Amino acid sequence: MRRLREELGARLRVEVKSFVLIPDDQPGRTFREYHREHRQAAAAQDRDAPHFAIPPVGHPYPRSSLPALEAAAWLRTTQPERFDAFDLAVFEAFFGALRDISDPDVLVELAAGAGADGQALLEALRGRGFRPTVLHEHREALERGIQAIPAILLPGRPPILGAVPYPDLRQALAGREGEERIEGAAGR
* Domains of the chain, start order: 2-187 (3.40.30.10)
Task: Tell me the per-residue pLDDT of 44-91, one tens digit each, with 9 for 90 and over.
Answer: 776 666 678 889 999 999 999 999 999 999 999 999 999 999 999 999
Interhelix angle 131-143/66-78, nearest 10 degrees: 100
Average pLDDT, the chain: 86
| The pLDDT of residue 48 | 62
pLDDT over 70 at 25, yes or no: yes
More confident residue, 11 or 182: 11
Asked if residue 107 lies in contact with residue 68, where contact means CB atoms within 8 angstroms, the answer is yes
Phi, psi of 174 (to 5 degrees): -60, 140
More confident residue, 151 or 94: 94
DSSP the chain: -HHHHHHHGGGEEEEEEEE-SS-S--TT-B--HHHHHHHHHHHHH-TTSPP---PPTT-B--S-SHHHHHHHHHHHHH-HHHHHHHHHHHHIIIIIT---TT-HHHHHHHHHHTTS-HHHHHHHHHHTTTHHHHHHHHHHHHHTT--SSSEEE-TTS--EES---HHHHHHHHTT--S-EEEEEEEE-
| The pLDDT of residue 126 | 96
In this structure, the strands spanning 160-161 and 151-153 are antiparallel
| The pLDDT of residue 3 | 79
Asked if residue 24 lies in contact with residue 55, where contact means CB atoms within 8 angstroms, the answer is no
Q: What band does 15 get if pLDDT is binned at 50, 70 and 90? A: confident
pLDDT over 70 at 118, yes or no: yes
CA 39 – CA 146 distance, rounded (Å): 21
Q: What band does 7 get if pLDDT is binned at 50, 70 and 90? A: confident
More confident residue, 34 or 38: 34
- 86 by Cβ neighbours in 10 Å (0-12 / 13-18 / 19+) ranks as buried
Task: Tell me the per-residue pLDDT of 157-173, one tens digit each, with 9 for 90 and over.
Answer: 788 887 777 888 888 87
Asked if residue 109 lies in contact with residue 170, where contact means CB atoms within 8 angstroms, the answer is no
Q: Residue type for 22, please?
A: I
| The pLDDT of residue 38 | 83
| The pLDDT of residue 177 | 45
